[in-house]
A and B are shown apart, each in its own frame.
Chain A
Amino acid sequence: MRLITAVIKPFKLDDVKAALETLGVHGLTVSEASGYGRQGGHTEVYRGAEYQVDLVPKLRVEVVCDDDDADDLIDAIVAASRTGKIGDGKVWSVPVETLVRVRTGERGTAAI
């Protein structure tokens, strides 16, 4: 099993969600995140004083999937979240050792 994490532009969530649903994903976790990469931050002006805001708001999307599905899902997320402009985000995956569905106690891929 693998955990896919995608940090994306907030307005791309609907596209990413739709793309994953067409591939049969029926559960994901979304949280608000902030950070910076090549995009850097932006400037804001208050009473004429310019402030550099380093941390840009993003969404973090997390999905656990079967090893065989990981590449397809990653490709789908990348395609759905790309605008071609700087700040589109990153997607990565890591191996998952244990997964338990809390309600039933099912373990492993059955819990996906």
Chain B
Amino acid sequence: MPPLPAMPAMPPAFSAGDTAWVMISAALVMLMIPGLALFYGGMVRAKSALNMLMMSISCLAVVTVVWLLYGYSLAFGPDAYGGLIGTLKYAGMDGIGVHNLSGSVPTLVFASFQLMFAAITTALLSGSIADRAKFGSWLVFVAAWATAVYFPVAHWVFDSNGGHGGWIVDHLHTLDLAGGTAVEINSGASGLALALVLGKRIGFKRDPMRPHSLPLVVLGGGLLWFGWFGFNAGSALTSGGLAGVAFFNTQVAGAAGVLGWLAVEKRRDGHATTLGAVSGAVAGLVGITPACGSVNPLGALLIGALAGVACSYAVGLKFRFGYDDSLDVAGVHGVGGIVGTLLIGVLATAAVTGHARGLAFGGGFAQLGRQAVAVVAVGAYAFVVTWLIAKGIDRWIGFRVSRDDELAGLDLLLHGESAYDIGTHTAGIGHRIIGGHGHHPGGAADTQVVASSKGESVSATIRP
């Protein structure tokens, strides 16, 4: 074997075990994005299913680019003022090389992990405006929202820097390991604002808008649960005991969420539903996200069950108050995030945190107060700024498709595709290849698909 090239020696704080775990966790969180796409995609009607998938997948693309250009620096660069925002020192990942460490892991590994958080949090918002947003406007919104809402809030909550980082983590000392505020309440409040600006789907509260594929919802929810181990236990940023507690608590809360939601459904609606089981899992996992590194497993059981119960009621509020948060971003992520973040103030135990204690463990109301301030600050900031961004985009280029387009479905109109062609023997009948680079070199120039721009029908006729 030829000798290996000399590797640069890592600084003494470097930990191979931590690095391996955070890299795996980053990849696990990345998997949550296609998971979310399927979870949401299965819940909408078949005519707009692909658009729902694309809203999630596009976040992975757009947020990655803005993250590398300036997002990482705004969130984790040196604090510019008062723990509110980072500077642009690391714009373009400038000056971050092989040797730079964040804690015990290479900075680029830490930046990859945090990038996935930014992408999935942005993707979460898409559920509130299912079936009615222009795709181009969504892409603009994604970049603007990540910039004006996610990056600052991530700085507040995640940039722990020995008293010189974000104001929520370093000054207020709120406990939020994996983002009950920065991810869940942030996306919930923003989703509510977005749903209010875009308005209700045509037929909201009148037409059945049944999920078109519950098996897809289960698949997506399963991927979310799997990825959540990286999301929560990876947030320890080390591969030790804290990650272990977070990992176990994550599993417990997901399970309790399922049971909590199903119990309400069985009593209230008469049936324990598949959609309820998966929604309950997500609610429980949302609830434990901030708390996974602060409570013991019995605390996680309580938080998961309460989040499942609370969210199963909260998803009905949109019908009572008449806002169309279509896939319950506020109802599940907002409410579940509030439950988990506040309950840290009750259930935090020094046996896990090492210092901070909640009300139930003799800590008084101090921690609960810190948690409440963070909940209100993140929720209010996210709601107001998202509302302004969405209004601005709506005025500027329009955010919502036309009435006819919405009724016909977004897939054909926006993406030129349809999700399904599944008649066993009739699929593909009446379709012909008429062009495209893959099939007919040179054939595309003088042919055109006769398709209604309204997406009403597609005929595969050639018009020479």
Chain A interface (Cβ < 8 Å from any Cβ of B): 44-53
> Once the chains bind, are A48 and B211 in contact (CB under 8 Å)?
no
Could you tell me the distance between the alpha carbons of A73 and B194 in the complex, rounded to whole angstroms?
Answer: 61
- Chain A hits for B17, CB < 8 A: none
A45 pairs with B208, CB closer than 8 A: no
A45–B210 alpha-carbon span in the complex (Å)? 9
CB distance from B270 to the nearest CB of A (A): 8
Measured CA separation A53–B208 after assembly (Å):
8
Q: How far is the CB of B337 from chain A (nearest CB, A)?
A: 18
Q: Which residue of B lies closest to A49 (CB)?
A: B319
B210: chain A residues at CB < 8 Å are: 44, 46, 51, 53
Q: List chain A residues, Cβ under 8 A from B270.
A: 45
Q: Using Cβ atoms and an 8 Å threshold, which residues of chain B touch A53?
A: 208, 210
Chain B residues within 8 Å of A50, by CB: 269
Give chain B interface residues in 249-284, CB to chain A under 8 Å: 265, 268-271, 273, 275-276, 279
The listed residue (B271, B279, B313, B319) touching A45 by CB distance below 8 A is B271
Contact A52 B279, CB 8 Å, known A45-B269, A45-B271, A47-B328: no
- Do B328 and A51 have beta carbons less than 8 Å apart? no
Cα(A44)–Cα(B316), bound, Å:
15
Q: Taking CB as reference atom, which chain B residue is nearest A44?
A: B210
Provide the B188-223 mask, 1 if CB < 8 A to any CB of A, else 0. Answer: 000000000000000000001011000000000000
Q: Would you mind naming 11 contact pairs between A and B with Cβ atoms under 8 Å apart?
A: A44-B208, A44-B210, A45-B265, A45-B269, A46-B273, A46-B275, A47-B275, A47-B312, A47-B315, A48-B268, A53-B210
Cβ contacts under 8 Å, A52 to chain B:
208
Across the interface, name the chain B residue whose C-beta is closest to A52. B208
Are A46 and B211 within 8 A (Cβ)? Answer: yes
Q: Mark B99-138, 1 if CB is under 8 A from A, else 0.
A: 0000000000000000000000000000000000000000
User: Nearest chain B CB to A41's CB is how many angstroms away?
Assistant: 10
Q: Nearest Cβ distance between residue B73 and chain A, in whole angstroms?
A: 40
Greatest chain B CB density within 10 A among A44, A45, A48, A49 is at: A48
Known: A44-B208, A45-B273, A51-B210. 7 other contacts (CB 8 A): A46-B211, A46-B275, A47-B315, A48-B312, A49-B316, A53-B208, A53-B210
Q: Determine whether the beta carbon of A51 is less than 8 Å from that of B208.
A: yes
Name the 3 nearest CB pairs between A and B, nearest first.
A51-B208, A45-B269, A47-B315
- Give CA–CA (A53, B328) in the complex, Å: 22
Render B5-31 as a binary contact track against A, CB cut-off 8 A, 1 for contact. 000000000000000000000000000
Chain A: minimal CB distance from B364 (Å):
37
